[in-house]
Structure 1
Amino acid sequence: MPRAGELPHYPFGFRGDELADALRGFLADAPVTRVVTNGGWPAWLVTGYAAAREALKDPLLSRSRAADPAMPREEKDPPPLTVVGTMHLLRGAGLREEAVKGMGPRQPHVSLERVREIADTLLARMVARGEPADLVADFALPWAAEVTCELLGLPVRDAPELAGWFGLLATGRAMEEHLFDDWTKAMHHFEERMAVIGTDGLLGRLVALNRSSDRPLGHDDLVEIAVFLFLSGLGNPAAFLALCALVLARDHELAARLRREPEALPRALEELYRWSVMLGDSITRVAAAETVVGGVTVRAGELVLISTDAANRDPAVFDHPERLDIDRPPVPHLRFGRGRHFCPAAALNRAQTEEAVRALLDAVPGLRLAVAPDEIRWREDHAVLLPEAVPVRW
């Protein structure tokens, strides 16, 4: 087996609209292969669709063990248990059911009408300011921040500041340079907010239930979980909405079709979930015992990195996987995971994003990129892939 220094270094790229060449190569030749992480640890990288499904459902591949400092890891330092073991901690305090309900499609905290209203207001302001505009700074990030504030019960006046917290999703060099200071500021901010949290949002419900729990979470754990829930509501929804906006701004035929056939939008979003490249790192697991993934033996204590981006572009499953085709025969993508770690907010994210994209199609019928497509730059060294900007005119 090659030493860590001889292995290819993962991740391989940070574009959200193009799968890295190395990942395409592994899909063809080695759907389970050895790589080295930012932290210098050897790991198994899973790219193939079948192997990724298998790994995501394998009970011997543990998410929470990634927080153990004795285990191999993606970055120099292990992630907090409150990040990789959120649901495990909430379950122990009897709060998991409330958390899942609060992130589900029938959650009571922010209605789809309100989600659409937030999008409409942001787009109206953007148009009123005049072109060019930036669909990241003017739309995707503030939309995700404001919706998440209302969902969690945070003051909406905090949303403009919190929209700038995408940097908390830093990895690699960016993490080493900025994350400690940024995380400290976030903890301080949320400590203040959690001390006076009301009962209108999910965080207030969790705090109230925690007080009556037989096994309550400590204050610091609750604050860290609050930060993580906010970042989850900011990062992936903002990045996916920005990608949708980029695609619509450069593909006028697709945008026109979705305006003519609004009933096609849910199908188009499912194809965008499949086609998008969202991960600047991976879905991380540590083997609790020896297991087999894609025909490869993974020993206890070894690190497994699952690239759902690559799996969703597997040519063994999807014909011409690089093609964005909203008429593609349906095959379940792996964007929200599989098995016991399936994202509890998947249905909510789908519904909210649909409202935001409908608002964009309605508000800016002449939407087009203000720069050439190859001038779009992407933020490097982040766990979630987001364009630096999507400049547009109309």
Structure 2
Amino acid sequence: MTVADQETTTTRIRHPFHVDDEGVNRPPGPDKHPYYGHFAATGSGVVPIVRQINGEPVPALLICRYADVKEVLRRQDIFSRTAARHADPIDLTGIMLGMDGAEHARVRGTVKDRFTRPAVHDLAARIEAEAAEQLAVLRARGGPADLLADFAIPLTLHAICDLLGVPPADRAQFRRWGDAYLADSELTRDEAARAAQEMGGYLWAQLERRRGCPAPDLLTRIAAAAADETVDIQVKLPISLLVGGWETTANSIATFVHVLHSRPYRDHPTAWEYLLDHPAKLDAAVTELERLYSTANADNMPRRVLADVTLPSGARLRAGELVIASHDAANRDPGVFPDPERMDFDRDPNPHLSFGYGPHYCLGAHLGALEVRTALGLLLRELPGLRLAVQPGEVRWKAGHSILGPEELPVRW
């Protein structure tokens, strides 16, 4: 019996799992919905769901088992992003995330060598200097402060803007545009469209300027290497790098600090205090935090099944079905991660899928990981007395947004 045959006896679950009656996804905190662990460990691991897209219900299948998720993310020949773009909560026309095959490889190839592990390693000193500068600003402001707005966002925004070559005077505007662009609820769709249009106009002007006056930055690279692409692709490539380059990483920093201060770990009152006593565990701790508390909200982008296929688990899918590969469920598959809900800084191996897998593996994964580790390491060394300025449960989490994170993170030291 295929998954489609099961629909007659299975009620479709509304997705995302924290969506309310207004159609807005309102996560109550950093913890993932209990459904993820449940679906990864029980049943077929393929769950009928329904999403609201442009006011219309769109049925899909949530893929939850680790091996199945990897298969969906790996096989562009069977699982197409291009054929499923109409089912995206965010307009990804012209953006790498919405492409398949040769088109995706061509556009990604324009910039991918600047985000490899060796290339990012060469940026370490620059990132450390930027983090130290932002920490000095935070300290000068005094407590309480907002760790997100006063430290994490400036650090990550300046890092990606430096690479692209966006002038410092223009950077604050990108936070406003980025917040609107990544909104994924019906209530904010018009604002997202306006933000994309305004960002596109700005970046097109920057690209045109680089064609006449090249500079040693990524905008110049895009202006030259992508000159034969459509205007839409040319402007949306830097949009995706800008928005993805700071929003996800800044929210990871804030989310992980919240978790470290609100969870006990072994014989320590908090995981933060454990890391103060065991600084060598920072890298492994960040990897485990990435597994449990991914800032990608509501799973990966949908894909259309192009041909009948059997997944590694044995579940059969039919051509035409819409599937959503859930990295949050896969990260809780007990066959890969024993006792998956337990935070374990000694978990080894830890092959989580929070950055994706296959051709669409997150282009900025190495840069983001470097920034998170640099930021947390600096805070642990220089502000060991850092603590939340409110109770953990009082922190408000962003609603109707494709990136999970706090609206603000009040801290003192």
Question: Aligned ranges for residues 70-149 of structure 1 at < 5 Å?
Answer: 73-75=87-89, 79-85=92-98, 88-89=102-103, 91-92=105-106, 96-107=108-119, 111-149=123-161
Distance 1:98 1:108, change over 3 A: farther
Once the two structures are overlaid, the 10-residue window that deviates more, 256-265 or 300-309, is 256-265
Distance 1:237 1:379, change over 3 A: same
Alignment-mate amino acid for residue 381 of structure 2: D
- In the TM superposition, residue 266 of structure 1 has moved relative to its aligned partner by 1.1
**Hey, which bits of structure 1, 4+ residues long, moved more than 6 A?**
none
Distance 1:240 1:62, change over 3 A: same
- 1:55 aligned to 68, 72, 81, which one? 72
Is the Cα–Cα contact under 8 Å of residues 109 and 151 in structure 1 kept in the other structure?
A: no
Identity %: 32
Give the distance between the partners of 2:202 and 2:99, measured in 1 at CA.
20
Question: Aligned ranges for residues 248-259 of structure 1 at < 5 Å?
Answer: 248-251=260-263, 253-259=270-276
Secondary structure at 2:47 match in 1: strand
Secondary structure at 2:118 match in 1: coil
Give the distance between the partners of 1:383 and 1:105, measured in 2 at CA.
26
Is the Cα–Cα contact under 8 Å of residues 226 and 234 in structure 2 kept in the other structure?
A: no
RMSD in angstroms over aligned alpha carbons? 2.6
**Structure 1 counterpart of 2:202:** 189
Secondary structure at 1:301 match in 2: coil
Alignment-mate amino acid for residue 329 of structure 1: D
Is the Cα–Cα contact under 8 Å of residues 48 and 59 in structure 2 kept in the other structure?
A: yes
Deviation string 1:138-172 (CA, Å, 9 cap, x unpaired) is 12222111111012222233222223322311112
Distance 1:311 1:374, change over 3 A: same
- In the TM superposition, residue 174 of structure 1 has moved relative to its aligned partner by 4.2
**Structure 1 counterpart of 2:235:** 223
**Structure 2 counterpart of 1:313:** 332
**Is 1:346–2:365 an aligned residue pair?**
yes
TM-score between both structures, scaled by the size of structure 1: 0.88
**Is 1:167–2:180 an aligned residue pair?**
yes
Alignment-mate amino acid for residue 273 of structure 2: A
TM-score between both structures, scaled by the size of structure 2: 0.85
Secondary structure at 1:361 match in 2: helix
- In the TM superposition, residue 41 of structure 1 has moved relative to its aligned partner by 0.9
**Structure 1 counterpart of 2:3:** none
Secondary structure at 1:171 match in 2: coil
Give the distance between the partners of 2:99 and 2:375, measured in 1 at CA.
28
Deviation string 1:2-49 (CA, Å, 9 cap, x unpaired) is 48x952110013356211133333233341111011221110101222
- In the TM superposition, residue 111 of structure 1 has moved relative to its aligned partner by 1.8
Give the distance between the partners of 1:109 and 1:331, measured in 2 at CA.
22
- 2:319 aligned to 286, 300, 322, which one? 300
Is the Cα–Cα contact under 8 Å of residues 181 and 193 in structure 2 kept in the other structure?
A: no
- In the TM superposition, residue 51 of structure 1 has moved relative to its aligned partner by 2.0
Alignment-mate amino acid for residue 326 of structure 1: F
- In the TM superposition, residue 254 of structure 1 has moved relative to its aligned partner by 2.8
Is the Cα–Cα contact under 8 Å of residues 294 and 354 in structure 2 kept in the other structure?
A: no
**Structure 2 counterpart of 1:25:** 38
Secondary structure at 1:268 match in 2: helix
Deviation string 1:343-376 (CA, Å, 9 cap, x unpaired) is 2332232223211221222232111111111112
**Structure 2 counterpart of 1:11:** 16
Mind listing any 5+ residue stretches in structure 2 that lack a counterpart?
A: 1-5, 19-26, 264-268
Deviation string 1:72-98 (CA, Å, 9 cap, x unpaired) is x143x7531324246854644xx6434
- 2:52 aligned to 32, 35, 38, which one? 38
Alignment-mate amino acid for residue 243 of structure 2: L
**Structure 1 counterpart of 2:309:** 291
